[in-house]
Structure 1
Amino acid sequence: MTTPIHEFLIAMFLSLAVRRCLTILRETKTFLSTVTGQEELAKRGLPHKWPVAGVKHVVLVASGKGGVGKSTTAVNLALGMSVVQRGLSVGLLDADVYGPSLPKLMNLSGRPELSPQDRMIPLVNYGIKCMSMGFLVEESAPIVWRGLMVMSAIQKLLRQVDWGELDILVIDMPPGTGDTQLTITQQIPISGVVIVTTPQDLALDDATRGAEMFRRVNVPVLGVVENMSGYICPKCGHLSNVFGMGGAKKIAQQINVEILGEVPLDLNICKTSDKGQPIVVSRPSSPQATVYKDIATRVLELLPSYQDPFPQRQ
């Protein structure tokens, strides 16, 4: 009897073999320009972008470096969207293969079941459909894979998950500008990316590079979230700019986007995240939750109108 992880790995290795065959075909140029309107993409060696089945909008949450609170932001952004617009169907995909955070942040565990079509069924908590490599491996097991295996795993997480009908899929990206970023931006249409940074100069430099990378691959940068934007003393309420100030404003001006929000460094955010109880749902009336919901509201306003990629079906 096979388990979801066995099915996943088998499909991944088969995909690697298929991708190798396609590479050989591409090199011999026997299949270029076979899709109408894709001649230019073929010449550049780029794949055609196909939407994730059932998903209207894909929003990336990214950063140039790790440790800036990107995953916490992604989780609270997704939850904030579902709160500020009732009836909105939202999903969360953890694309950080090497260091998945979604299981802990969303208090989820266990293996995903398979649909009759052999697609993985997302785990659900707080009304959000979730998928992560963390559901497919043991919690303490390291994932020691080379780039091609990671790229294949990402494709399986995009294509072999039964999301049902989603208005928005929020993808928590790994830090940096590597294989995962390129795979996702080349494989699927993306409505926009939210860049997360801290006020520290080192994080700002990396965030700027990350934003520039997304622009080069024609992904709209929706704006910047400044995380750890000052520390609020729990006793007196005094705000101290531990990591500096004005950093997000500097980036926003430099890349010509807006500041979506400034999230203070707060102990409650850390505690609720570690417990798998994101602050947007565990303390919805708190000032910190309000900041995340305001960010979610603005992101929803910035998303383009949905256009069915297959209008002939109607």
Structure 2
Amino acid sequence: MKVIEILLKEILEDFFFCFTSPSEHTNLKRSIQESGILTPIQVIPMEGKYRLISGFRRFHVARELDLSHVPVMVKPESLSIEKAFRFVLLEKVICRMFNLIEKARVLHILEGLQVPFELMEKDFLPILEIPAQFKTIDEIKCILKYSISVQHYVEMYNLSLKQTRMFNPLTIHQQELLVDMAMKLQVRSVELSEIISMLIDISGRENLTVEVVLNQLEIGRIMDNRDDSKHEKLFKIKERLMDRRYPKLASWNRSLVHLSKAILLPEQVKLKWDRSLEKPGVELRVKIRTADDLKCIDKILSNKENLDRFEEMFKIV
């Protein structure tokens, strides 16, 4: 393989082999302005010109900078297009493993090249760390049917194939609504999966769409509240979903909150319980700084009205 300098206009605007996501390239642009393109763009001969196979960001920057010539590494014509692409993948995987979206795009490229399964199994799937199972391969390829915002979320949080399955029951519009919320609140996949699971359960049980449930719970109003932090917004959203999904549990928790407030605990004493009510009992967390703090706690626990309230709480938890 030889490195030569060619006219930029000799490179076809063909992005078939691009499997990485667009990214901000300010630093790359500055580097090329100062030092030129140090790593050649990889191309293959095609119809008297050259077809891009690797180096798409450098190509975009070269166009932005209106460069006339660029260094390229020309793959020999004797090398099959499949082997040329395989070499690109091997070079990339040395630096880092591919994320799920990139794997899906690579599979799409291989499908476009009509690579036989036997060759794919031997030369490509090991590089991608994908098992040679038709079901898994098809499932990964289907990820490209998700909306662009969902694909961005999958890539940003490096979701596994198993984690992406939470989107399957949702429409494109529902996916976008929930991912938009997740991106704004920086919700990771575990919590988003929990939210989606609750929404689907509620909508199925009440025969409503996910959009209607979101509107009825006024999730938009919570999101628009500028006084709450991201953490507070997320807590309120999950709390409303839990209340709607488990109305009896919500009623019991409201009773516990009412009783705990009636006990009038000082600032250094916190009363907590498992809101799922799976763990029995309540938990008193106390910060003791002085002997007076001990007396204060003793006074609270020896008060008959408080003891009665604790008894009422124990009937629930």
Query: Where on the TM-score scale, by shorter chain, does this alignment land: which range?
Result: under 0.3
**Larger Rg: 1 or 2?**
2
Q: Which has the higher strand share?
A: 1
The alignment's TM-score, normalised by the length of structure 1, stands at: 0.24
Higher helix proportion: 2
TM-score by length of 2: 0.23
